[in-house]
Amino acid sequence: MKNITTLVLTLFFTTVIFSQQKNDWENPNVNQINRLPSTATFYNFENESQALAGEREVSKYYKSLNGDWKFSWVANPADASKTFQEVSFDASSWDVIDVPSNWEMKGYGTPIYTNSTYPFFNDYPFINHHDNPVGHYIKSFEVDASWRDKDVILHFGGVSSAYYVWVNGKFVGYSEDTRLSAEFDITKHLVNGKNKVAVKVFRWSDGSYLEAQDHWRMSGIEREVYLKAIPKVRLNDFTVRTDFDTNYENALLQVRPKLIANIKNKYVAKIGEFGNTNLKTTVDNWELITELRDAEGNKVGESTTTKFKKIFGEFYPQRDNVYFGLIETEVKAPKQWSSDNPYLYTLLFEVKDDKGNSIQHTSTKVGFREVKIDERGRFLVNGNPVKMIGVNRHDHDHINGKTVSRVDMEEDVKLMKQFNFNAVRTSHYPNDPYFYDLCDKYGIYVMDEANLETHGVRGLLSNVPEWSNAYLERAVRMVERDKNHPSIVIWSLGNESGTGPNHAAMASWIKEFDSTRYIHYEGAQGIPSHPDYKKNFFQHGKGNPSDSPWVDMISRMYPQPAELQALIDDTAEFKHIPVLMCEYAHAMGNSVGNMKTYWDVIYKNDRALGGYIWDWIDQGILRKDENGKEYYAYGGSYGDTPNDGSFCINGIIASDRTPKPEIYECKKVNQPVVITAVNTLKGEFEILNRHHAIDLSKYDLYWNITENGKVIQQGNVLSLNTKPYKTSKLRIDFKKPKLKTASEYYINIQGKLKENELWENKGYVVFEEQFKMDYKVAQPSTLKSNRNLIVSETKSLINVSNTYVSLEVNKTTGYISKYKINGANILKTPLKLNFWRAETENDEAYRKSMKLESELDWMKAGDRLKIKNTTVKSDEKGKAVIRVEGVIENPKADVNLTYTVLGSGEVKVDYNTIIDNGAPNAPRIGMTFDISKNFGKLKYLGKGPQANYSDRQYGSHIGLYSGKPENINYKYVYPEEYGNHTGTSWFSLLDIRNKGIVVKGDQPINFSVISYGIDNLQEAKFLNELKERDVYTVNIDLSQQGVGGDNTWSHRAQAHEAYLNKPGTYNYSFYLVPFNSKVKPERIKF
């Protein structure tokens, strides 16, 4: 008992000490002063028609304060102004800053990127007073005369990280929580004419200890600011739910309103009952009217009229709780909301006084949607099982930092839809309310995440009672603000903050408040009472076999595909609980291998809910160096310390929202329709509809047959109507092609939008498949030349030539050093062995983790080939054969090269290497040379059009593609290997006269044509460090290891076993052919 008393007293006095601290911004018990409770986001309008349209800009009760503000920045609180809020203060000499914005992006202070480390001295809840910049903002405004009988609310969408507000010199309030809106009632401080709002923003606060997310740390008023005028007696908030019957046919529309009566500037709260006396207000006979409209504006069902006295006088029982549906309307056969068909209704609200005068008009969007988890652990939307094909999304703009425009938000959502994503996690904080409007509108399932991450101290604060209010407040305010969005199906308690009773309190409140959604928190791993519990078992992707009962799904980060399957199998006792990857496929640099492997696991397991790729957008900041050359900055670019370098450059779209090669793989893996071949040559296929709410009638199906990449037949299938989750037979009628020697035939099938959608136009390709048609075709005859060759040999060189072709092999290196056609040398550098690629960030990570620096020995191995023997033979039929035997001592590899030259100019290269078992894996098996940029017209028959690798080629199809290498290759922010194409039959490089070279494989090859040298790519850290040259580097490879990327900090960054070049024997052959050769590439053989 004595120990318990001591503990209670300790907690009490600790709380008192915290509360008595001088600075609000260093006190976890002071998170706001005078801030209004969080409510749903809605706007008031003059009439019903405006409310139905919902465009806030047309309402005279809305006034944006975005734009120019006067601004002053100081480096620490001691230098902050104490008088700037006064009406008489002269700010004419101050700078002007755009609001919303981050002040670091406007030249004040330093942006800092860290992953998990706090960017300030860790002494929670205190902040270093010598390193806490302060921004002062001033804005003048006037309010419309019609606002004088209303309450005026000042709205801040998001301010980093803590701030005080004054109006006309009077203190209004204080708020923390960077990513949630805050509102203040400023009615009593307003004057006629010009008014002044002043805001003092602190870069760091005690709240910053809860905001240790993996992104840029920037400051200021970074989301919108506006005023709104609202009636003094009003509908102040409301919660809307839809409740389907068991057959998902009819539904109840349920509304729980919150009213405010501000009578003589005194707020009347909910009255309720006291004893047996029914308390009354002067507005008891006012009315709240609701009416539902469909997307065309037509009335749906019956409108409701509810007296205020029913709402104010609601009786709360002693036990249980009140029934949610305070206002209910039955809706017959409503159109259901889903990601497949995001149909939205509009719910109109009108408040009338007791004389029948209209006082208030507002509205909200409604989606009839119900989510459940069934006994098989499937996540159901309106009764249909759904997979979360998701991404983690940070707010980011490559110029404006954390301030993202509405245009860019919409572009994000459109891109998600275009690339077959249906889900987003708002990592790791609530987004601007408009983003959820867009998800409602376009159909994206949202995991809404609280602004909570204590990565810098792990789970410590989650177990400290003094921080419980801050934790709970962030959950409550998020849920209260976002509760009416049908797109939100999961609430998340934050990210990487350990676990503890503070999280349990968050979850408990949410579960009681909102029983219609589910709760996620990846950190809630392990119940000590479970018999299989392991102490201190914190491995990514694994964790203990049970999670806290207050979360509704088993969530893990970065399991490998086999581990995901094992996690599902090992938690079979929780078969009713879904398994989710809240983060996976770390898309840092040239990455996202194994996507299909992951989703093969997900699609075959009911409980596998899906996953959210890390992450959506590169967080690069566009800058120019001293020479005016543009590049993207990342951690450390601004001299910021601490920093985590390029760890913020891991999106599947670029910082400017350009799709990267990786996203095309994602699109294919998760396309909503899958076609499989039954008998390709007979045109027999099966088509599977993976949509969960619509049939396939929205698509037109087109097909074509290609011969060596050229379309020779095409057609379409007139109608598709396969139901969700069903498979239908598909018949394509085509004529057997007239087969040509050495030709390859493919049938390509594409599903295109039949009509325009919100997110893309008619004709857009949503899904596609390609099947090889294995016809037996004649093989080409062996090429012969009618031009003789002259062979000459010196101590150092072998030369084979005639008047048309000249080829020279250096006997010291064993490489072709010259290859001339009509006197023009094609090679700017010798054709030499290449075992290396410029390291990707995954390469760097796994080599460091696994201590595989020995792989670096392959970097210059091609330069260390020691020649043991060279021979040359020729015949009188215009053919010469040069053989080279050599060895590389470190890493140990035997090499045999054979060059066969024809008098007509064609050259065959036969490559054989035996890599010793003791040698490390080779990143690449191939050869390389440089060629003049005059040969800048690239054409190839291979997999494309985007770059692809052995473990990231599912989304690339065999085709005939062309363009300039500079235009078709995506260059990564952190320079590294790029531009590879697998499955290539041949490629050509031509000049403006269509003269040049064709490279043709004896088997499918990898190739790339890149603008920068491999050494430059290896050494450079930023794009502006890449050196322009007058040559391209051409890589001709048998194999290149996969890109990997299950994560980018451990052995899991490495490509999977199947995609590594292990010690062993490697053979391949390719041809160098003058483009003016009369022989078609596919017929080249000798």
Which residue is it, tokens 């996202």? Answer: 592
Intervals of CATH 3.20.20.80 along the chain = 409-616
User: What amino acid occupies position 948?
Assistant: N
Q: 768: which strand partners?
A: 750
Q: HSE (CB half, 13 Å, CA atoms) of 1018? A: 9
Q: 449: which strand partners?
A: 492
* Angle at CA of residue 786, ends 783 and 792, nearest 5°: 100
Q: 365: which strand partners?
A: 346
Judge if the upstream peptide bond of residue 385 is cis by omega within 30 degrees of 0: no
Question: Structure pTM?
Answer: 0.95
Distances (CA, A) of 316 to 272, 273, 280, 720, 843: 7, 8, 16, 54, 62
Are 634 and 619 contacting, i.e. CB atoms less than 8 angstroms apart? yes
Give the single-character DSSP code of 475. H
Are 479 and 239 contacting, i.e. CB atoms less than 8 angstroms apart? no
d(CA 648, CA 661): 18
Q: DSSP letter string over 1034-1084?
A: EEEEEEE-----S-SSSGGGSPPGGG---SSEEEEEEEEEETT-SS-GGG-
d(CA 389, CA 416): 10
CATH number of 31-231: 2.60.120.260
For 445, the token pair is 């399932």
User: What amino acid occupies position 660?
Assistant: K
| Predicted pLDDT at 1070 | 98
Residues 6+ apart with CB under 8 A from 317: none
For 917, the token pair is 């078992």
d(CA 524, CA 542): 13
d(CA 920, CA 850): 12
Exactly one of 410, 583, 707, 839 is catalytic; name it.
Answer: 583
What's the distance, CA 487 to chain centroid?
17
Intervals of CATH 2.60.120.260 along the chain = 31-231
Please measure the distance between the N-terminal and C-terminal CA atoms of the chain and give it in whole angstroms. Answer: 94
3-state class of 832 per DSSP? strand
Spans of the chain below 50 pLDDT: 1-19, 272, 274-276
The reply to whether 55 belongs to the active site is: no
* Angle at CA of residue 1025, ends 216 and 937, nearest 5°: 115
Are 453 and 494 contacting, i.e. CB atoms less than 8 angstroms apart? yes
CATH topology for 833-871+881-1083 is Beta-galactosidase; Chain A, domain 5 (2.70.98)
d(CA 518, CA 547): 14
Distances (CA, A) of 852 to 838, 1050, 1059: 16, 12, 17
d(CA 588, CA 1044): 10
User: What amino acid occupies position 838?
Assistant: A
d(CA 737, CA 770): 17
Give the single-character DSSP code of 412. H
Closest alpha carbon to 234 in 152, 111, 330: 152
- Count helices and strands in the chain by DSSP H and E runs: 13, 63
| Predicted pLDDT at 837 | 98
Give the single-character DSSP code of 367. -
Handedness of CA 104, 109, 115, 118 (dihedral sign): negative
Which option is the CATH number for 409-616: 3.40.50.300, 3.30.70.1350, 3.20.20.140, 3.20.20.80?
3.20.20.80
Closest alpha carbon to 635 in 624, 621, 654, 625: 621
Q: Which CATH class is domain 671-773?
A: mainly beta
Spell out the SS3 assignment of 434-502: HHHHHHHHHCCEEEEECCCECHHHCCCHHHCHHHHHHHHHHHHHHHHHHCCCCCEEEEECCCCCCCCHH
| Predicted pLDDT at 274 | 46
Which option is the CATH number for 233-366: 3.30.565.10, 3.40.50.300, 2.40.50.140, 2.60.40.10?
2.60.40.10
Taking the CA atoms of residue 307, residue 312, residue 313 and residue 316 in that order, the dihedral angle to the nearest 10 degrees is 130
Exactly one of 496, 662, 841, 1082 is catalytic; name it.
Answer: 496
Integer-rounded Cα Rg, in Å, for the chain is 34
CB neighbours (10 Å) of residue 720? 19
- For the range 734-741, what are the long-range contacts, defined as Cβ-Cβ under 8 Å and sequence gap of 24 or more? 734/683, 734/703, 734/705, 736/681, 736/775, 737/705, 737/707, 737/712, 737/713, 737/775, 739/775, 739/776, 739/777, 739/778, 740/707, 740/777, 741/777, 741/778, 741/779, 741/780, 741/1082, 741/1083
Intervals of CATH 2.60.40.10 along the chain = 233-366, 671-773
Helix 433-442 × helix 406-418 angle, to 10°: 30
Q: Give the phi and the psi of residue 611 in degrees, each rounded to 5.
A: -170, 165
Which bin fits 953, alpha (ψ -120 to 50), beta or left (φ > 0)? alpha
Taking the CA atoms of residue 202, residue 206, residue 210 and residue 213 in that order, the dihedral angle to the nearest 10 degrees is 40
Are 256 and 238 contacting, i.e. CB atoms less than 8 angstroms apart? yes
Residues in the chain: 1086
Intervals of CATH 2.70.98.10 along the chain = 833-871+881-1083
The reply to whether 707 belongs to the active site is: no
Closest alpha carbon to 961 in 980, 979, 937, 944: 944
